[in-house]
Amino acid sequence: MLVGTKSDARDDPKLVSELKNDRIVTTEEGQKLAAEIKAFDYVETSALTRHNVNKVFDSCLESVYGKKKGESSSGEKKKCTIL
């Protein structure tokens, strides 16, 4: 599970202009990284606006109890890593 936080920051011109050596990660970059690390899901969220906060928890539960995106045809399950 890969979670992109502070997705509301993209819509804040003041914050974007204050970034010096940092930059905002695009949705495409997040999706690409999720595919590279074989994450169960990629969700962008904002605690400020509460956008997709519940989806993060729902997806985590689905990764444990529901149909698993990472399950192979042989039924082998992928491991979960928390960084």
Residue at 39 is within a domain? yes
pLDDT tens digit string along 26-37?
999 999 999 999
Residue span of the structural domain in which 24 resides: 2-65
Residue at 58 is within a domain? yes
pLDDT at 66: 79
pLDDT at 83: 61
Contacts of 56 (CB under 8 A, 6+ apart): 1, 3, 43, 45
CATH code for position 37: 3.40.50.300
- Please count the structural domains in the chain: 1
pLDDT tens digit string along 14-30?
888 888 778 889 999 99
DSSP of 38-74, one letter per residue?
A: T-S-EEE-BTTTTBTHHHHHHHHHHHHHS--TT--TT
